[in-house]
Amino acid sequence: MARAFILLLLPAWCFAQDTLTVGSKRFTESYILGEIVARVAADAGEARAVHKPGLGNTGIVFAALRSGAIDIYPEYTGTIAFEVLNDPKAVDIRAINRELAKSGLGVAVPLGFNNSYALAMLDTRAGALGIRSISDLSRHAGLALGLSHEFLNRNDGWPGLKHAYRLPFAPRGVDHGLAYEALAAAQIDVMDIYSTDAKIAKYGLRVLEDDLRFFPRYEAVLLYRLDVPQRFPATWAALAKLENRIEASRMIGLNAEAELAGKSFDAVAAGFVSELGGAAAVAPGDGPRTFFGILFGGDFWRLTAEHLLLVFASLAASMLAGIPLGVWAARSPPASAWILSSVGLLQTIPSLALLAFLIPLLGTIGTAPALVALFLYALLPIVRNTASGLADIPLALQEAARALGLPPLARLRLIELPLAARSVLAGIKTSAVINVGTATIAAFIGAGGYGERIAAGLARNDNEMLLAGAIPAAAMALLVQGLFDLLDRRLISEGLRA
C-alpha cells in the first residue's frame, strides 16, 4: 500500500520543475482570482499551470507558499501586514516587499481593487436603531455579533477593532458562508463582510462606516516566490498585464456571477479572461443546474477515488502501527499508560491546526499531510481496541496457550489475536468510519475528495454544492460500515459466535 502511494505521488514530484502551482484561499473571491491567475498563466503557453483551490486559511496557504508547494496566490496587503509580517505599519507594497524578501517571497501586480473588512447590518434594522457607523454600535450593547472565525482571531480583525472602538460585545463565531442566512433570520444583528461581497445588495445590507479608520487597506496583489519571474519569464509578463484590470465594481460583479448566478469558478474566470483578451465575452455556460447534475458531475469519480485513497491508505498505515502498539500496551502496563495517553492526546488536536502544523513539517500541501493527519487520528480506536481485546482474554486460555509450549509469536498469531479479533476489527471499523468524515477537511489543504465540494459550497453559500459533497461522504461511511460487518462475518471464527 505504501509503495502504491509513493508511485501515485511520483508524477507530481517529477514534473514539479515545469509546473506553476497557483493557490487560493477558501472563499469565493480567492477561488475566482486563483482561477484567473491559473488561466492567464496557462494561456502564456510556457508552463503547465495547476490551481490548488480552497487551501484553508491564511496560515495554511502561506505555509504552502513558503514550502514551495505552491508558487503564487492572490492575497491582500492588509492581511500580509497584520497576519504574515505582524507589522501594522508595513502597508505599502515597497515596505512589504522589503520584509518578504528575507523569506524569498514578494508581492506584485496590484489588481486594482481594495477589499477591506467591514461590519454590516440589515439596512432595515440599522435604520430602526439609527446606526450608521461602527462607533454607533457601542450604544447598543444588546446586539448579537456573528463573526467569521478568521476575523475573530486576526490582529486586524475583532481584537483590534474591539479595542479601537471600545466595543462591549461578546461575539459568536459563525462560518462566513452561513452568516448571511443567520443575519436574514435575525439570529445575529451584525456580521463581518468583505467590501467586494456579492451579497451586500442581495440581502439589503448597510455597510457601517469605519469612522475611526481602523481597517487598513486590503489591496489585492499577487504574493509569489521570488524565483517565479526567472523560472517562467513569459508567464510572469502575462500575469503583469493583470495590473489594475479589476476594479472593485468588477470584482463584486464576478463574485455575484459565482454566488448569485451559480456559475462555476471556472466559468466566471474563463469569462473574465476571454474579455481581457479582447474576445467576445462569452463565458462557457454551465447549462441549467440540477442537484443530480452536480452530485454526479464530471468530478464525481475523481473525488471518490481521492476520498477512498485518503481513507484507506491512512487506515492501512494506522493498522500497521496501531495493532503492534496495542499488543505492546497489553503486554506492558507501564508502556500502556503512555501509549494510550499519547494516541488519546493526538485525538484532541483540532484538525485544521494539525494540518497547518504538518504542512511546514512535510514541506508540501495536499495528500501527504492529509494522510499523516488521518493516520494519527485513526490510531486511538485501533490501539485501544487491540489492547482491551487482548486484556479481555480469560486468564485460563492465556495460560493454556503458554502451557502448550507455543513460542510467543505463534501464541500471538494463532491464539491471542484471533481471540481479540472481534474487538480489533471493531476498532478498525470505528477508525474507517471516522476517517471518511475527517477526510472531508483534507480538501482545505488541496488533498481533494468530497470535501472539495463541501469547501466550495461553504465558500459561496451554495447548499446544493455542499450537499453534493456531504451526501456521498455519508453514503461512503455507511458502505464502509457495511463492508466491515461483512468482514466480521468472514474473519471472525464461527466458534466465537453465540
> Taking Cα atoms as reference points, which of 318, 313, 312, 310 lies closest to residue 427?
318
| CB-CB neighbours of 368 under 10 Å | 19
Closer residue to another protein, CB minimum distance, 305 or 400: 400
CA dist 492 → 245, 375, 418 (Å): 66, 25, 8
Tell me the closest approach of the beta carbon of residue 416 to another protein, in angstroms: 10
Main-chain phi, psi angles of 296, to 5 degrees: -105, 35
Closer residue to another protein, CB minimum distance, 84 or 415: 415
Tell me the closest approach of the beta carbon of residue 390 to another protein, in angstroms: 14
Under rule CB under 8 A, residue 478 binds another protein = no
Of 234, 282, 400, 487, the one binding another protein by CB under 8 A = 400
C-alpha cell at 51: 490551481
Under rule CB under 8 A, residue 493 binds another protein = yes
Closer residue to another protein, CB minimum distance, 400 or 483: 400
Cβ 185 vs Cβ 230: under 8 Å? no
Under rule CB under 8 A, residue 405 binds another protein = yes
Cβ neighbors of 130 (< 8 A, separation 6 or more) are: 136
Of 397, 475, 479, 486, the one binding another protein by CB under 8 A = 397
Q: Crossing angle for the helix pair 300-331 and 367-391, nearest 10 degrees?
A: 40
Closer residue to another protein, CB minimum distance, 278 or 494: 494
**Residue-wise DSSP of 39-57:** HHHHHTTSSEEEEE----S
Q: Please report, as residue ranges, which positions from 357 to 396 form the binding site for another protein (by CB under 8 A).
A: 396
Q: How far apart are CA 96 and CA 106, in angstroms?
A: 8
Of 320, 404, 475, 483, the one binding another protein by CB under 8 A = 404
Under rule CB under 8 A, residue 491 binds another protein = no
Tell me the closest approach of the beta carbon of residue 396 to another protein, in angstroms: 6
Q: Please report, as residue ranges, which positions from 58 to 87 form the binding site for another protein (by CB under 8 A).
A: none
- What is the pairing mode between strands 220-225 and 72-76? antiparallel
Stretch that binds another protein, among 308-316, 334-342, 369-377, 408-416 (CB under 8 A): 408-416
Under rule CB under 8 A, residue 350 binds another protein = no
Of 4, 240, 345, 410, the one binding another protein by CB under 8 A = 410
Of 15, 402, 483, 485, the one binding another protein by CB under 8 A = 402
Cβ 220 vs Cβ 88: under 8 Å? no
- What is the pairing mode between strands 72-76 and 117-122? unpaired
Under rule CB under 8 A, residue 403 binds another protein = yes
Q: How far apart are CA 18 and CA 229, in angstroms?
A: 13
Under rule CB under 8 A, residue 488 binds another protein = no
Tell me the closest approach of the beta carbon of residue 495 to another protein, in angstroms: 3
Of 200, 258, 415, 442, the one binding another protein by CB under 8 A = 415
Tell me the closest approach of the beta carbon of residue 412 to another protein, in angstroms: 12
C-alpha cell at 298: 464530471
Cβ 203 vs Cβ 184: under 8 Å? yes
Tell me the closest approach of the beta carbon of residue 328 to another protein, in angstroms: 20
The position carrying cell 451579497 is 199
Residue type, 204: G
Using CB under 8 A as the binding criterion, the count of chain residues that bind another protein stands at 21
Stretch that binds another protein, among 152-160, 405-413, 427-435, 474-482 (CB under 8 A): 405-413
Q: How far apart are CA 40 and CA 487, in angstroms?
A: 51
Max CA distance (Å), the chain? 87
Cβ 47 vs Cβ 232: under 8 Å? yes
Tell me the closest approach of the beta carbon of residue 393 to another protein, in angstroms: 10
Of 323, 355, 419, 473, the one binding another protein by CB under 8 A = 419
Residues making contact with another protein (CB under 8 A): 396-397, 399-407, 410, 414-415, 418-419, 421, 493-496
